Structure 1
Amino acid sequence: MFPSGFAWGAATAAYQIEGGWDSDDKGPSIWDTFCHREGEEGRVFAAQNGDVSCNSYELWRKDLQCVQELGLTHYRMSLSWARLLPDGTTGTVNPKGVRYYNTVINDLVACNVSPMVTLYHFDLPQALQDRGGWKSPDMATLFDSYARFCFEEFGDRVKLWITINEPYVCAKLGHEDGSHAPGVKQPGVAAYLVGHNMLRAHARAWHSYDSLFRSKQNGAVSLALNSDWVEPLDPASAGDISAAERFLAFTLGWFAWPVFATGDYPPAMRSAVDAQSARLGYGGVDSRLPGFSEDEPALLGTADFFALNYYTSRKVRSRGGGAGGDGVSMKSDLDAEGVLDPSWPLCGVSWLAVVPRGLRNLLGYIKETFNNPAVYVTENGFSQVGAVEIDDVQRCRFYHDTIMEVAEAIEDGVRVRGYFAWSLLDNFEWADGFSVRFGLFHVDFSEDGRPRTMYRSGREYAKIIAKHRPGPNADKGKAEKLL
């Protein structure tokens, strides 16, 4: 059912698990600032923060034990840019941060677990935010410098790299809605600029790896894109069909089309933004969604695999051209609305409907739309809210059903090369704080030692891995064998 060398993994992110927010010369990140900002209630559930979280900075060996208990072949982690480079530049390298990540990577490799390393998972150094953050065109060069530093320091052992995690979320929630750090609310303008600069940054980092490191390190580089699967609410409605196409263009397509398809934004996205700009009299017709310069490194082809974060699905209906009342905003540009099918069960949070078959559908769409790339499902999970159930039967069923859908996608001809559960541990879930739990291991945040206890779903996932994991003599860790 699964190809030889299939990656069985779990994922985490630095700010969500590490804690040690100001330990050992680490610089502050935008999430430190966002959580600590006084006088702005409601930014994060119960005013919680990631100052300690799972305390993985001090308790890494406990995490490693969890990785081993699951029998993972791969572990997806992220680096804290501000822990490595406190002011965001290579002029201020923090050797204690370098030592920490060397310890983590070396321990994983010693246990025959391949690290997949994300360079940027939402936690920009505050020093760079003070210089304009992702709205600044200079970020492409600054990110490239950071990426080169990481490739040089860790690339001899890391064969799978993610440059940027979920640029859509960084752009929209961080700069359109203001519900994520850095908390900017500039509807219809800032998110497009941020997304543009993230794509420029990714392209530069990929080209740097390709020209300077690939021949020596033999790894692979991509960026992780999140997307729901969407279908028209009324399959017989031309308006809903068009709305569903726009919905995908404004989410997955926003970043996948430039990298995997054409080198530019999806035509449906470009035409929608430009048309709405004209209707609202906003400057030049194309003044909000930037164009790519021929002087920049080319975007098309700057991914060695497709990294997909999938959680849920949506039915989409047209708003009938009535979105202009929202003024200049992504909502008015999109002119479509995603809704839940009432037959879909919810898990924990209101937005997270359980639709395993949506992953198979989305994988099929990626195969047909983006020339059948090798795909890693880099995040997928099921949340709990409220009373903790260690015997989490529903989550067990979710993982069984979802992994079966992945197997079916492989039978469909999709080149799926790995699956990473979100998350290894219960952790700080951004604006939801610790109220939402996705872990394969329960973490007791009320105790200083942050004890980890495997959920039943962790045990079931471990059984699935044991059934399919290659033998001890398998040749692991070579990315080219999976691409």
Structure 2
Amino acid sequence: MRAAVLCLLNLLIVTGSDGWHEMRIRKFKKNFLFGAATSAYQVEGGWDADGKGESIWDKYVHENRNVVADGRNGDVASDSYHNWQRDVQMLRELGVDFYRFSISWPRVLPNGLSNEVNEAGFKYYDNLIDELLKYEIQPMVTLYHFDLPQALQDLGGWANPLSITWFEDYARVIFKRYAEKVKFWITMNQPNTICIEGYAGGGMAPGLSLEEGGAYECVKNVLLAHAKAYRLYEKEFEKEHQGNVGISIAVNWFDALVNTTENVEATERAREFEFGIYLNPIWGKEGDFPAIVKSIVDKKSKEQGFKTSRLPKLSAAEVKLLKGSADFLGMNHYTTFLVEPGTTKYESPSIEDDRNTKYSQGPEWKPGKSSWLKSAPYGLYKACIYLNFNYDYPPIIITEHGWSTGPGLGDQSRVDNMRAYLGALLLAIEDGTDVKGYTAWSLMDNVEWTAGTSERFGLYEVDFESESKTRTARLSALVYKHIIESREVEDNWAPSSLKIEITKNEKKNNNYKGEL
């Protein structure tokens, strides 16, 4: 009955070409948190500075020079290693409540193990955290955002069960150093990217293709490493420091292309393989991997001649360890995909074959610079309602949402996307979703992994050709600042002094400087 009422309520939404338009103004509550995010490899640079160890991304891009679209890798990136004071100044200009950033594991533990601590690397994070707190900006620290120490990858990386212990030891070092100052923690960022993109031929570091089970082993190990770190904090740090520990999972939305039985079944597979496999062990009523994932992989493994399933089992003790091992769900959401059954015939075992789906996107949805990114704000609303009904209303922080453009300060498409998605988020909150905060990806232009700097997600544009990597506010930065101040999402607001249409000549002549 409640679901039917919600559907009727949402018929009041008038959908326009640029997003959702409301009949009345909704406001974010005063205690709703707004932030911005980056990750270490993507902005820090200083890839071998002051005793930092090599990461899997350092090795991957150095050994595969053509893998980055525009050739600009993370060696220097936005040079936040030397520009951290400017980064904090930008956060102050925006008026955010928190800054989500990650700690580079090899910067502080060069060989990945806790026996060798790099104090010079820690000094960078000491300075950054202290500067944030000086201006009452809460640090939200991600322990792992894709940059595993290469020394640990040489031992098997996340496909090695010992990675669970390596990560727990690393987490203990970080918690001991910063638990007094940091109240928001994220253990892992996007396990699906870590394992499926990194270990199953997806084009992310370390660039492996362990299709016959290695990627699923990675999934199990990453989840257990998360749970071990969570239980460590719970046991040794929570009572004294009262922090919150979560995990960030990519929860893009998946809808049936058309409402047929085959498409609906394919959509269920997509949801369970894409995010249910990570959500269910933590928030599911019974815990463990989703039943449909276990059933499909078990059946296919038997047909493929394996003696045991390519999906590793979780023991009763591991199910217990994982269940409830998060104070909040970090939800990374960017877009929506339309689903139908797959048609590709695979000659060898693979996750794609297990899932057996084909994805597309609405032709009328506005495209971003990234080939996979189109604007469909209704998907955020539907994803939130799905999480409510399937995982019992988990506390959520949107830990990433963003939009890619090319270079340029007049990023009206990012503004339109932000407003539309925040409008959808307000509706989801009104309909019962427990959302605590929203994080814009990203604070500044950065190295978007193998896309390099060909895709720009920043509220601030970075001049990568300048020695100081000059940062300049885009239109979206001013709009985001106003949203934070007003707690409202307005379609017709713009700074009176701002020229929204910025030509190349105007930019060269500095008619628009983008100051906040």
Name the TM-score class by shorter chain: over 0.9
Q: For residues 419 and 158 of structure 2, what CA distance do their matches in structure 1 show?
A: 39
Counterparts in 2 of 1:41 and 1:149: CA distance versus 1, 3 Å = closer
Q: Indicate the residue corresponding to 2:315 in structure 1.
A: 293
1:3 Cα offset (Å):
3.1
Q: Indicate the residue corresponding to 1:279 in structure 2.
A: 303
- The answer to whether the Cα contact below 8 Å between 1:276 and 1:332 also exists between their aligned partners in 2 is no
Q: Indicate the residue corresponding to 1:408 in structure 2.
A: 427
- 2:228 counterpart of 1:204: yes
Q: Indicate the residue corresponding to 1:367 in structure 2.
A: 388
Where does structure 1 differ by over 3 angstroms across 4 or more consecutive aligned residues? 294-297, 322-326
- The answer to whether the Cα contact below 8 Å between 2:139 and 2:182 also exists between their aligned partners in 1 is yes
Q: Indicate the residue corresponding to 1:421 in structure 2.
A: 440
- 2:378 counterpart of 1:357: yes
User: Within 5 A, what are the aligned runs for 1:69-468?
Assistant: 69-235=93-259, 237-261=260-284, 262-281=286-305, 283-286=306-309, 288-296=310-318, 298-319=321-342, 324-385=345-406, 388-468=407-487
- After TM superposition, the score normalised by the length of structure 1 is 0.93
1:87 Cα offset (Å):
0.7
- Among 17, 24, 34, the alignment partner of 1:8 is 34
- The answer to whether the Cα contact below 8 Å between 2:29 and 2:487 also exists between their aligned partners in 1 is no
Per-residue CA deviation, residues 7-66 of structure 1 (Å, 9 max, x unaligned), is 1001000000000111111111000001111xx453221333101011000110110111
1:188 Cα offset (Å):
4.3
- Letter aligned with residue 49 of structure 1: N
- Letter aligned with residue 97 of structure 1: G
Q: Tell me, what secondary structure is at the counterpart of 2:254?
A: strand
Counterparts in 2 of 1:252 and 1:145: CA distance versus 1, 3 Å = same
- Letter aligned with residue 333 of structure 1: D
Q: Tell me, what secondary structure is at the counterpart of 2:339?
A: strand
1:285 Cα offset (Å):
4.5
- Letter aligned with residue 377 of structure 1: I
1:252 Cα offset (Å):
1.0
1:293 Cα offset (Å):
2.4
Give the superposed CA RMSD.
1.3
- The answer to whether the Cα contact below 8 Å between 1:176 and 1:188 also exists between their aligned partners in 2 is no
Equivalent pairs: percent with the same residue?
Answer: 39
- The answer to whether the Cα contact below 8 Å between 1:275 and 1:285 also exists between their aligned partners in 2 is no
Q: For residues 306 and 160 of structure 1, what CA distance do their matches in structure 2 show?
A: 12
Q: Tell me, what secondary structure is at the counterpart of 1:109?
A: helix
- The answer to whether the Cα contact below 8 Å between 2:334 and 2:373 also exists between their aligned partners in 1 is yes
**Paired residues, what number?**
460
- The answer to whether the Cα contact below 8 Å between 1:280 and 1:328 also exists between their aligned partners in 2 is yes
- The answer to whether the Cα contact below 8 Å between 1:381 and 1:421 also exists between their aligned partners in 2 is yes
Q: Tell me, what secondary structure is at the counterpart of 2:337?
A: strand
- After TM superposition, the score normalised by the length of structure 2 is 0.87
- The answer to whether the Cα contact below 8 Å between 1:323 and 1:333 also exists between their aligned partners in 2 is no
Instruction: Answer with 91-100 or 422-431: which moved more.
Output: 91-100
Q: Tell me, what secondary structure is at the counterpart of 2:148?
A: coil
Q: For residues 419 and 197 of structure 1, what CA distance do their matches in structure 2 show?
A: 28
1:277 Cα offset (Å):
1.5
- Letter aligned with residue 291 of structure 1: K
1:324 Cα offset (Å):
4.9
Q: For residues 444 and 111 of structure 2, what CA distance do their matches in structure 1 show?
A: 29
1:187 Cα offset (Å):
2.0
- 2:82 counterpart of 1:58: yes
- Letter aligned with residue 313 of structure 2: G
Q: For residues 295 and 74 of structure 2, what CA distance do their matches in structure 1 show?
A: 40
- The answer to whether the Cα contact below 8 Å between 1:280 and 1:324 also exists between their aligned partners in 2 is no
Q: For residues 241 and 437 of structure 1, what CA distance do their matches in structure 2 show?
A: 35
Q: For residues 344 and 287 of structure 2, what CA distance do their matches in structure 1 show?
A: 29
